[in-house]
Chain A
Amino acid sequence: MSKSKVMWKRFRERLAEIRWEVRRRYYIFKENVNKKTAKPKAAVKGLFKKYLVQPFKKYICNPIKNGYVKFTKTKVGGFLHKYIFHPVAYFFNRFVFRPLGQVFNRNFFHAMIYLLPALILLCIFTFYPIINSIILAFYKNYTPVDKMFDGYTLDNFRDIIARPGFVAALRNTAIIVFISVPISVIISLFVAVMLNSIKRLKSFFQTIFFLPYVTNTIAIGLVFSYMFDYRYGLINKALKVLGIAAIHWKDAQASYFNAMTTLMIYIIWGSLAFKILVFTAGLQNIDKQYYDAAKVDGTTRWRIFRRITVPLLSPMIAYITITSLIGSFKTYTTVVAIYGEEGRTAGGKDLRTIVFYVYDYIMGGKALNPGELSRGAAASLILFGIILVFTLIQLYVSKKRVHY
C-alpha cells in the first residue's frame, strides 16, 4: 500500500473513532438526562478537551517543548536558557503577566460590566470637558471654527481679571454666597427643630416645607417676579396695609441693594426645603435620652439647642454648608428666573454672577471670535479655584468643630 492510502485509512479510522466516541457520550448524556443528572456543559467541555485541547498539546505544544528542552541540553542553548531566556521569561511572568492577571481578573471584568455605562458617560460629559477646558484656558487666540491657535499663554487670565464686569460678578457671587448660605442654614435649622418638636400634623408641615424643592425654579421665579412687582405685587400691597410706602424691588428704579435683597429672599426661600429635610432626618437620629438628661439637669431650651442639638447635628450642618456653598458659587438659574438672561435690572443694575460671566464669552456666537472661548475657560477655572479654596477651608474648619 502506498503511503497516501495508509494515511487515508488512518484518517477514516480516526473519523470512525470520533463518531463512536460522540455517540457513546451522547448515550451517556441521554441516560443522565433520564436520571436527571445531566451536565450538558460538562459533556461538551469533555469533547472539546479530548478532540481539540489535548491534540493541540500533543502535536504542537509538546514537540516545541521537547525541542526546547533538547536545545537547552546543548552547550550554547544551555547558556542562553540560563542567562537570557529563563530570566526574561521569569521577569515577564512575575512582573508583567501575573500583576496584569491580578488586575484584569474575572472580578475586574464583572465590575467593568457594571461600571462601564456610567464610566463612559462620565468620560464624555465630565472628564473630557474638564481636561479640555483646562487646556483651552491656556491657548492663545484659539478659534473654534478652524481649531487653530498660536501657542500657549497666561494672557487669558489677565484679560478677564482686567475686564470691567469681572469684579462686579465676583462681588455679586460673594454677596450671594456669604449672605444666603449662613442665613438659609440658620433658618432651616430652626425650622427643622421646630418641626421636630411639634407632635400633631408633623408630616403635614414637613410636606409643606418640602414643596419648594419639587417645584420648578423658573416657575417660582416668575411667581416671585409678580410678588415683588412695584404696582401689582403682593409684597407692596402688604406693605401698604402696614402703612409703608411701596418699594422699588426689581424694576427700573430699583437700587442695587433692593434688587439684591429681592434675589436673596428668593434664593434663601428656595434653598430652605432641602436643608430642612436633611436636618429633620438628622434630628430624628439623635438619642432622646440626651434631651431627657438635659431636662433633668434643668437645661433651658436655648442651651439644649446650642450645647446639644447643634453639636450632635454638626456633621449634617457641615455637609449642608459645604454643598450649598459650592452650589451658591454656581448661582445662575435663580438670577435668570427674576432678572432674565441679561442678569440686570431694567435700570441697569448688574446682578450677574461668575457663571454669567463665563457664559458671556460663549453666548450669542461670541465664542467664534479668536480667544473668547479660552477666556471663558479661564474664567471657569478661576471659579473652580475659588470653590476649591473655600471647600478646603470649610473642610479644615469642620474637622476641628464637627463631632462625629
Chain B
Amino acid sequence: MEVRLEGLTKQFDETVAVDNLTVTLESGKLIGLLGPSGCGKSTTLYMISGLLKPTKGRIYFDDDDVTDLAPEKRGIGLVFQNYALYPHMTVLQNILFPLENLRINRKEALARAVEMAELVGIKELFDRKPAQLSGGQQQRVAIARALVKKPRVLLLDEPLSNLDARLRLQTREEIKRIQREVGITTIFVTHDQEEAMSISDEIIVMNKGVLQQKGAPQHVYNHPINLFVSKFLGNPPINTFEGSIKNGKIYVGDVELGVTKFKDQDVIIGIRPEDFRVDENGFMVKVDEIDCIGRDTTLHFTLGGEHTRALIPSDSVLGNPEYVHISVKPDKIHLFNTDEAGELVNE
C-alpha cells in the first residue's frame, strides 16, 4: 500500500521537527528514512503510526485520509527501538496480544502466531520471557508481533541500533528477507547510512526536518542533489574543495580537475574517494600517507589546502611513491553552489 505525506509539519513548542514534508512512499517497498540525529525522521515515523498528531498536513494510505485516525484503526505494525516487548508475557503471549485485542478466536490466532514465528524463525522460543532472549531474538519477536495482525504498513524505529555489529549484519538481511516474503510496505528509520543503503529499495534523506532527496540508494549516492546529501552518504566521506570554474574548466587553486559546461563562478567541488584514478596525464600530488588494505589502497594527500582521500586499486601504485599522478574520472565531479543550501550547480 502506498503512503502519501502531504505538507506534513510537526512543531514541538519552539522547534519545528518536521517541516512541510511532501513525499510518496511506493507500495511494497522497503523504504529507509535516513538522516542525522534530530532530523525529524522518528517524528515522521510516529506521525505515520498515529502516535503523534501532525501540526499541519495530511497522511494518506492509498486514497484513505488517515490523518485523524487513531493508531489502531490505521492498520500499521510498529516495532519500537527497544522493542517494547511486555516483560511479564512469554513470547507466544506477546505475539498473541494484538490478536486478542481484535477478538480473533484462539485457534486461528494460534495458527497465525505460529505462521509468523516460522517466518521470523523463533518458533522454538515460544515459552521464554523476553528477558531470556538475545537482542536479535527480541527484535524478531517484536517484528512477529507487529506483523501478526496483518498490517498494511510496517514501521521500524531504528531496528538495528540496539544490536551488536555482527548481529546487525545478520538482522539486516533478515529484515530484508521478511519484507520480501510478506511483500508489505515497510518504512524504517535509521541514522546509519550504510544500513540504509544496504537494505532499502528506496531511501529518503532528511535534514533538520526537511526532505533532502528521495530515490534508489545507488542513484542518491551517485547523484546527490546537494552538499548535505553528498557528505552524509559514503564512507570514507566525500572530499570537498573550494574551487572555481574558469572558461569551462574546473580549478582547485591552480590544479585543473576537468571540464564543465557551466558558466564561470565559485563552486564547492565534491569528489568521492573512489572516483580518483592513477593517470600519467593527470596532475601530480605529494603523497602524505598511503594505506594499503587488501584490494584497495587509500592515498592521503593535500589538494587545495584540504586533506584528501583517494581510494584506488592496490595494483595501480607500486611501493611507497612520494609523488603520484592522478586524475578524476569524467562526470564524477559534483559541483555545488557556495551558498548555505549547497544545491547542484545548474547554470
Q: Quick check: A289 and B97 within 8 Å, CB to CB?
A: no
- Say yes or no for B49: interface residue by CB 8 A criterion: yes
Q: Quick check: B84 and A300 within 8 Å, CB to CB?
A: no
Complex formed: what's the CA distance from A54 to B102 in Å?
A: 89
| B140 → A minimal CB distance (Å) | 16
- Say yes or no for B237: interface residue by CB 8 A criterion: no
| A401 → B minimal CB distance (Å) | 10
Task: Output the residue of B78, B82, B88 with the most chain A CB within 10 A.
Answer: B88
Q: Quick check: A292 and B72 within 8 Å, CB to CB?
A: no
- Say yes or no for B76: interface residue by CB 8 A criterion: yes
Q: Quick check: B87 and A403 within 8 Å, CB to CB?
A: yes
Q: Quick check: B97 and A287 within 8 Å, CB to CB?
A: no
Complex formed: what's the CA distance from A307 to B100 in Å?
A: 11
Q: Quick check: A296 and B97 within 8 Å, CB to CB?
A: no
Partner of B88, one of A287, A294, A295, A403: A403
| B287 → A minimal CB distance (Å) | 52
Output the nearest chain A residue to B157 by Cβ-Cβ distance.
A289
Partner of B72, one of A287, A296, A314, A403: A296
Contacts of B87 in A (CB 8 A): 312, 403
Contact (A308, B86) CB under 8 Å given A296-B49, A297-B97, A297-B149:
yes
Complex formed: what's the CA distance from A293 to B51 in Å?
A: 9
- Say yes or no for A231: interface residue by CB 8 A criterion: no
Complex formed: what's the CA distance from A118 to B97 in Å?
A: 51
Partner of B101, one of A299, A312, A403: A299
Q: Quick check: A298 and B84 within 8 Å, CB to CB?
A: no
Q: Quick check: A303 and B101 within 8 Å, CB to CB?
A: yes
Contact (A295, B101) CB under 8 Å given A289-B84, A290-B86, A312-B87:
no
Contact (A289, B82) CB under 8 Å given A295-B72, A312-B88, A403-B88:
yes
Q: Quick check: A287 and B98 within 8 Å, CB to CB?
A: no
| B92 → A minimal CB distance (Å) | 14
Q: Quick check: A295 and B71 within 8 Å, CB to CB?
A: yes
Complex formed: what's the CA distance from A311 to B87 in Å?
A: 9
| B271 → A minimal CB distance (Å) | 44
Q: Quick check: A296 and B78 within 8 Å, CB to CB?
A: yes
Task: Output the residue of A290, A293, A303 with the most chain B CB within 10 A.
Answer: A293
Contact (A293, B72) CB under 8 Å given A298-B98, A299-B101:
no
Output the nearest chain A residue to B79 by Cβ-Cβ distance.
A293
Contacts of B102 in A (CB 8 A): 298
Contacts of A303 in B (CB 8 A): 100-101
- Say yes or no for B228: interface residue by CB 8 A criterion: no
9 pairs across A/B with beta carbons < 8 Å?
A287-B84, A290-B84, A292-B84, A296-B76, A297-B72, A298-B73, A300-B101, A312-B86, A403-B88
With A295-B72, A297-B149, A298-B101 given, name 7 new contacts (CB 8 A). Answer: A289-B80, A292-B80, A296-B49, A297-B72, A300-B101, A308-B86, A312-B87
